[in-house]
């Protein structure tokens, strides 16, 4: 019987080596270890053996059964691994495949200009501040010395949040899309210690007729400096330095007296047109960017109105400040020689890919 068992083992090992599927493995298990399997058939003869031989053969048969079960389990694992490997190979994605670099894209001219402006201002000691695009009337108008009946509110026609949201609010709490980044100046003056030296780049919204210089959505950068002894001379030096760094040393600035509710005195700042090189004509035609004048209105500026300082809790007799604001879109148009800043929003890859 021992010889029978040995032959069975040899036969089992030889058969196992040919198995390559789960189904044939189960069949092999049944053939050898099942109720009507080959091992059981051999053990059926044990009853005729002596007690001594029964023990020996019984132990050997049990050992063999364990051995078969281990070998079957190992084979099952091998088959499973082979199946995984097959799936991996069939469904593999080659992550090393080369990506066409020409489709990676690059920064939009407005992002590029914003980052450049930020770098210049940071080099002059300014800090960057941010604020919400959906503002309330108090921060967007009232605190900036633009009360409800002020004619300035007619100038900045506004996108209001729907009546459903605003109908139960007090008048200064009504929500709108901010018309300028100035509310962030208010929030900063009300919450931070002096001196303040910040810029606020961000997206703003106006209900405007679109033309070469106006869009209903654009990017603005505002600056605010408040402290002791801040003068209009500081304002002029700052803007002159920034614009020359941004557009070139030959850039000229023109300050025109103006009126804004939140600054006094105030000035609009024109920059010599980069499109027509200050001539008013580009490529033999009248320059639409500067309306043939050679000057482009790029900035508003002025000394912060004492009332605005006081409303933000700052002693206007002790402290003074200047503020300025510029359209990043127009500056990008000047830098890149694009005749209409509106073109930046038309999603034309052929335009943006040039820069
Ligand atoms: Zn021009």
Q: What is the pLDDT of residues 94-147, one digit of tens each?
A: 777 676 666 677 888 999 999 999 999 999 999 999 999 999 988 998 888 888
Percentage helix, strand, coil for the chain under 3-state DSSP, each rounded to 5: 45, 20, 35
CA neighbor of 201 nearest in space, from 324, 355, 335: 324
> Which pLDDT belongs to residue 42?
81
What domains are there in the chain, each with its CATH number? Answer: 2-90 (no CATH), 108-352 (3.30.930.10)
CA of 34 to the centre of ligand 1 (A): 95
> Which pLDDT belongs to residue 244?
93
> Which pLDDT belongs to residue 155?
58
**DSSP one-letter code for 34:** S
Buried b (16+ CB within 10 A) or exposed e, 150-187: eeebeebebeeeeeeebeeeeeeebbbbbbbbbbbbbb
> Which pLDDT belongs to residue 345?
84
Q: For 131-261, where are the E strands, in sequence order?
A: 134-136, 175-177, 196-205, 217-227, 253-260
Whether residue 303 is predicted with pLDDT greater than 90 in this model: the reply is yes
> Which pLDDT belongs to residue 135?
92
CA of 352 to the centre of ligand 1 (A): 21
CA of 206 to the centre of ligand 1 (A): 24
> Which pLDDT belongs to residue 103?
66
CA of 272 to the centre of ligand 1 (A): 8
- Are the CB atoms for 182 and 205 separated by under 8 Å? no
Q: For 84-195, where are the E strands, in sequence order?
A: 127-128, 134-136, 175-177
What is the token pair recorded at 35?
């109720």
Whether residue 21 is predicted with pLDDT greater than 80 in this model: the reply is yes
18, 134, 285, 336, 338 from 292: Cα distances, Å: 90, 37, 9, 19, 15
- On the 0-12 / 13-18 / 19+ scale of CB atoms within 10 A, 229 is exposed
CA of 339 to the centre of ligand 1 (A): 8
pLDDT average, residue stretch 265-279: 90
CA of 224 to the centre of ligand 1 (A): 29
Cα distance between residue 238 and residue 228, in whole Å: 17
Question: How does pLDDT run across 141-197, given as a tens digit for each residue?
Answer: 888 888 888 776 765 678 888 878 778 877 778 888 998 999 999 999 999 999 999
CA of 278 to the centre of ligand 1 (A): 6
CA of 281 to the centre of ligand 1 (A): 6
CA of 283 to the centre of ligand 1 (A): 11
> Which pLDDT belongs to residue 222?
95
> Which pLDDT belongs to residue 233?
97
pTM recorded for the entire structure: 0.66
- Are the CB atoms for 242 and 124 separated by under 8 Å? yes
CA of 5 to the centre of ligand 1 (A): 103
CA of 271 to the centre of ligand 1 (A): 10
CA of 294 to the centre of ligand 1 (A): 5
CA of 212 to the centre of ligand 1 (A): 12
CA of 286 to the centre of ligand 1 (A): 8
CA of 225 to the centre of ligand 1 (A): 31
């Amino acid at each position: 019987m021992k010889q029978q068992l040995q032959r069975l083992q040899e036969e089992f090992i030889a058969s196992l080596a040919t198995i390559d599927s789960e189904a044939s493995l189960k069949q092999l298990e049944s053939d050898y270890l099942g109720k009507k399997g080959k091992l059981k058939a051999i053990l059926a003869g044990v009853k005729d053996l002596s007690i001594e031989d029964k023990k020996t053969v019984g132990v050997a048969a049990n050992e063999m059964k364990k051995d078969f079960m281990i070998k079957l389990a190992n084979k099952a694992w091998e088959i499973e691994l082979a199946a995984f490997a097959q799936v991996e190979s069939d469904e593999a994605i080659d992550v090393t495949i080369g990506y066409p670099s020409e489709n990676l894209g690059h920064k939009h001219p407005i992002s590029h200009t914003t980052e450049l402006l930020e770098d210049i201002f940071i080099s002059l000691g300014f800090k960057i501040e941010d604020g919400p695009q959906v503002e309330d009337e108090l921060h967007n108008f009232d605190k900036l010395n633009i009360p409800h009946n002020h004619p300035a509110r007619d100038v900045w026609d506004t996108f209001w949040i729907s009546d459903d949201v605003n109908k139960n609010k007090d008048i200064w709490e009504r929500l709108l899309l901010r018309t300028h980044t100035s509310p962030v100046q208010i929030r900063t003056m009300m919450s931070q210690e002096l001196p303040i030296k910040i810029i606020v780049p961000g997206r703003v919204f106006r209900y405007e007729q679109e033309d070469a210089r106006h869009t209903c959505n654009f990017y603005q950068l505002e600056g605010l400096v408040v402290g002791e002894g801040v003068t209009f001379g500081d304002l002029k030096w700052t803007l002159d330095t920034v614009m020359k760094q941004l557009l070139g040393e030959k850039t000229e600035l023109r300050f025109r007296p103006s009126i804004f509710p939140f600054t006094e005195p105030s000035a609009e700042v024109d920059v010599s047109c980069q499109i027509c090189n200050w001539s008013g004509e580009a490529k033999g035609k009248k320059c639409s960017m500067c309306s043939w004048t050679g000057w482009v209105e790029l900035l508003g500026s002025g000394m912060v109105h004492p009332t605005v300082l006081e409303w933000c809790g700052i002693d206007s007799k002790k402290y003074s400040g200047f503020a300025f604001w510029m359209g990043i879109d127009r500056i990008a148009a000047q830098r890149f020689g694009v005749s209409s800043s509106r073109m930046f929003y038309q999603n034309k890859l052929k335009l943006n890919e040039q820069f």
